[in-house]
């Protein structure tokens, strides 16, 4: 059975009624040393996602679309809902025992929450990826990444290979929660009638080869030559271009249907545009857990040693064989 067929079976053939909470607790039972703290943090992320989804549905009615009139640390215009989503996540996560450090795209520095007790976790997140899509009803999402931090190491940024859980929420025609804790990639959909995320797919696998690419081709002229050569090959061999302008939406398509998502270095952003800690790392681990490949163009994303919270890297994510073709062009 092909990988693409497996995904269809996994998504449409579920016969049991498993909530996100039940799934996380079952994963916890597989680890006798678990304290339950990580499960509570994932629960907090689910509550945040449901709250943000509700606010998005009423955004036009409550007049919270558009820019707030200030820039975030990235130099980007903040949308009103960027601030709202960030506030929701900070408030909910700060209330959870075991959360020692929070890092957000919208905040200048790491926020230290709890420096006492036993096991601690740091949570990195992009509260509302693709928020420029909001005014036109486009897809947006939340990306998160969780690390275990040893006592006395709370301010240390760790490479992506040390993540203990990661995932994203896609807010679109339905609210979709995708996550991994190191034992495959699983997908949940919010059932608004009961207010719970229901598991609809287990152990998702990225097809080994895809026929779509996702990139902002407006920057094509300033891409390095190898990327231009690869995209020319894609067009010559019948690939389709799919670009939503939100990383969550584009990577979700790649996860389900295969292909490649890329954000190369450009003249304007020579180190890439996407942030390592709360965009590249969680998405890279998800794609690798699903059998795909993730690279900066020079090496594995998950091996990059972070130097600061908002560090940027080039990003290549997708089907194993398609990414290999791109790497050959870059070589």
Whole-number average pLDDT of the chain: 89
What pLDDT does residue 75 have? Answer: 58
Indicate whether 179 and 224 sit together in one domain: no
pLDDT at 11 over 60: no
| Residue ending a domain, choose from 201, 231, 263 | 201
Runs of H (alpha helix) within 188-274? 225-236, 247-257
Number of domains making up the chain: 2
Task: Residue 246: count other Cβ atoms within 10 Å of its Cβ.
Answer: 23
pLDDT 10s digits, 27-56: 888 877 777 889 999 999 999 999 999 999
For residue 155, name the pLDDT band (cuts at 50, 70, 90). low
Report the candidate in 164, 159, 37, 156 with the shortest Cα–Cα distance to residue 101: 156
pLDDT at 270 over 70: yes
Residues 194, 17 contacting (CB under 8 angstroms): no
Indicate whether 193 and 223 sit together in one domain: no
For residue 115, name the pLDDT band (cuts at 50, 70, 90). low
Indicate whether 142 and 251 sit together in one domain: no
Residues 79, 216 contacting (CB under 8 angstroms): no
Indicate whether 123 and 16 sit together in one domain: yes
| Residue ending a domain, choose from 141, 167, 201 | 201
Indicate whether 147 and 238 sit together in one domain: no
Q: Tell me how many degrees the CA angle 235-236-237 measures, rounded to the nearest 5.
A: 90
Burial class (CB in 10 A: 0-12, 13-18, 19+), 194: exposed
What pLDDT does residue 14 have? Answer: 46
Domain membership of residue 22 (yes or no) is: yes
Q: Token match 């760790």: residue?
A: 158
Indicate whether 189 and 220 sit together in one domain: no
What pLDDT does residue 32 have? Answer: 75
List the structure tokens of 119: 């096991």
What is the Cα–Cα distance from 270 to 224, expressed in whole angstroms?
A: 10
Which has more pLDDT, 135 or 180?
A: 180
For residue 74, name the pLDDT band (cuts at 50, 70, 90). low
Q: What share of the chain is helix, strand, coil (3-state, %, to 5)?
A: 35, 25, 35
| Residue ending a domain, choose from 201, 236, 256 | 201
3-state DSSP call for residue 119? Answer: coil
pLDDT at 10 over 50: no
Runs of H (alpha helix) within the chain? 3-12, 20-29, 37-57, 80-94, 225-236, 247-257, 281-289, 320-330
For residue 61, name the pLDDT band (cuts at 50, 70, 90). confident
Domain membership of residue 181 (yes or no) is: yes
Which has more pLDDT, 137 or 276?
A: 276
What pLDDT does residue 198 have? Answer: 97
CA distances from 171 to 99, 123, 317 (A): 25, 20, 21
**Mean pLDDT on 264-281:** 95
What pLDDT does residue 34 have? Answer: 73
Indicate whether 34 and 178 sit together in one domain: yes
pLDDT at 1 over 60: no
Domain membership of residue 206 (yes or no) is: no
Domain membership of residue 207 (yes or no) is: no
Chain centroid to Cα 85, Å, comes to 15
pLDDT at 62 over 90: no
Which has more pLDDT, 81 or 176?
A: 176
Q: Who contacts 18 (Cβ-Cβ below 8 Å, separation ≥6)?
A: 198, 199
Domain membership of residue 108 (yes or no) is: yes
What pLDDT does residue 118 have? Answer: 57
Residues 258, 206 contacting (CB under 8 angstroms): yes
Number of residues in the chain = 331
pLDDT 10s digits, 172-229: 889 999 999 999 999 999 999 999 999 999 999 999 999 999 999 999 999 999 999 9
Percent of the chain with pLDDT over 90: 71
Indicate whether 17 and 74 sit together in one domain: yes
Indicate whether 148 and 239 sit together in one domain: no
pTM across the whole model: 0.90
For residue 132, name the pLDDT band (cuts at 50, 70, 90). confident
Expressed as residue numbers, the domain containing 48 is: 3-201
Indicate whether 305 and 233 sit together in one domain: yes
Q: In this structure, what CATH number is given to the domain that contains residue 152?
A: 3.30.540.10
3-state DSSP call for residue 285? Answer: helix
Indicate whether 225 and 160 sit together in one domain: no
Q: In this structure, what CATH number is given to the domain that contains residue 247?
A: 3.40.190.80
Report the candidate in 183, 120, 118, 176 with the shortest Cα–Cα distance to residue 143: 176
């Amino acid at each position: 059975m092909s990988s693409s067929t497996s995904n269809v079976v996994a998504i449409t053939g579920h016969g049991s009624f498993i909530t996100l909470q039940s799934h996380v607790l079952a994963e916890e039972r597989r680890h006798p040393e678990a304290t339950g703290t990580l499960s509570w943090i994932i629960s907090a992320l689910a509550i945040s996602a449901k709250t943000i989804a509700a606010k998005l549905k009423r955004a036009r009615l409550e007049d919270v679309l558009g820019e707030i009139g200030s820039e975030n640390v990235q130099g980007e215009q903040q949308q009103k809902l960027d601030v709202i989503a960030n506030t929701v996540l900070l408030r909910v996560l700060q209330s959870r025992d075991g959360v020692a450090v929070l890092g957000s795209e919208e905040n200048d520095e790491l926020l230290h929450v709890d420096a006492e007790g036993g096991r601690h976790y740091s949570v990195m997140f992009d509260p509302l990826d693709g928020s420029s899509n909001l005014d036109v009803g486009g897809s947006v999402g939340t990306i998160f990444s969780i690390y275990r931090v040893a006592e006395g190491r709370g301010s240390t940024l760790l490479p992506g290979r040390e993540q203990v859980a990661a995932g994203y929420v896609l807010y679109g025609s339905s609210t979709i929660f995708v996550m991994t804790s190191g034992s495959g990639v699983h997908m949940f959909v919010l059932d608004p009638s009961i207010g719970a995320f229901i598991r609809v797919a287990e152990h998702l696998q990225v097809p080994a080869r895809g026929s779509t690419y996702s990139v902002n081709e407006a920057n094509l002229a300033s891409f390095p030559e190898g990327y231009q050569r690869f995209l020319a090959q894609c067009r010559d061999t019948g690939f389709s271009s799919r670009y939503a302008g939100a990383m969550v939406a584009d990577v979700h398509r790649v996860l389900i249907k295969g292909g490649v998502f890329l954000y190369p270095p450009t003249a304007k952003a020579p180190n890439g545009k996407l942030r390592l800690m709360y965009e590249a790392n969680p998405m890279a681990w998800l794609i690798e857990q699903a059998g795909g490949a993730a690279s900066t163009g020079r090496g594995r994303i998950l091996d990059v040693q972070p130097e600061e919270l908002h560090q940027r890297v080039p990003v290549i994510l997708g089907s194993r064989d398609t990414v290999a073709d791109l790497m050959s062009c870059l070589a």
